[in-house]
């Protein structure tokens, strides 16, 4: 089996493991940034085989320059999306933030009453 046969190349910025919805960035983030072993990664992502995890790491090692750029682009995209979500939270997030503020206000009020 050729190494590339382990993956679906959906777009230049979307490479997934065959028969799954898991992108190579997910596996490689665990490997590169969290220093997890292939066995640990396979235990976390139980829908993947240990062979698939090793294939992903081997693909990275064989294509280090292009895959490193792929990961860097993915990390940058994630950073931009988090910033955008903070600037413009969805209505559901705004509601949760409001509920949290109300709850904290009630806790502060209760603390004043019990100490007052």
Query: What digits encode the pLDDT tens for the residues 23-51?
Result: 999 999 999 999 999 999 999 999 999 99
Judge whether residue 116 has pLDDT over 70. no
| Fold classification of 3-89 (topology level) | Arc Repressor Mutant, subunit A (1.10.10)
The answer for 112, left when phi > 0, alpha when psi is -120 to 50, beta otherwise, is alpha
Per-domain residue ranges for the chain? Answer: 3-89
Question: Distance between CA 39 and CA 42 in Å, rounded?
Answer: 5
CB 33 within 8 A of CB 60: no
Three-class secondary structure of residue 18 per DSSP = coil
Read off the pTM: 0.75
For helices 50-62 and 24-32, give the axis angle rounded to 10 degrees.
Answer: 80
For 62-110, the pLDDT digits (tens) are 999 999 999 999 999 999 999 999 899 899 988 998 999 999 988 888 8
The per-residue pLDDT for 67 is 97
């Amino acid at each position: 089996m050729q190494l590339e046969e382990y993956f679906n190349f959906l777009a230049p910025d979307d490479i997934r493991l065959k028969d799954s919805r898991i992108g190579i960035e997910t596996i490689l983030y665990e490997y590169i940034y969290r220093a997890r072993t292939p066995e640990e990664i396979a235990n976390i992502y139980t829908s993947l085989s240990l062979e698939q995890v090793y294939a992903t790491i081997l693909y990275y090692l064989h294509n280090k320059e292009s895959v490193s750029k792929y990961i860097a682009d993915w990390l940058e995209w994630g950073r931009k999306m988090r910033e955008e979500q903070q600037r413009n939270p969805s209505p559901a997030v705004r509601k949760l933030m409001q509920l949290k503020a109300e709850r904290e206000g009630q806790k502060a009020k209760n603390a004043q009453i019990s100490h007052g």
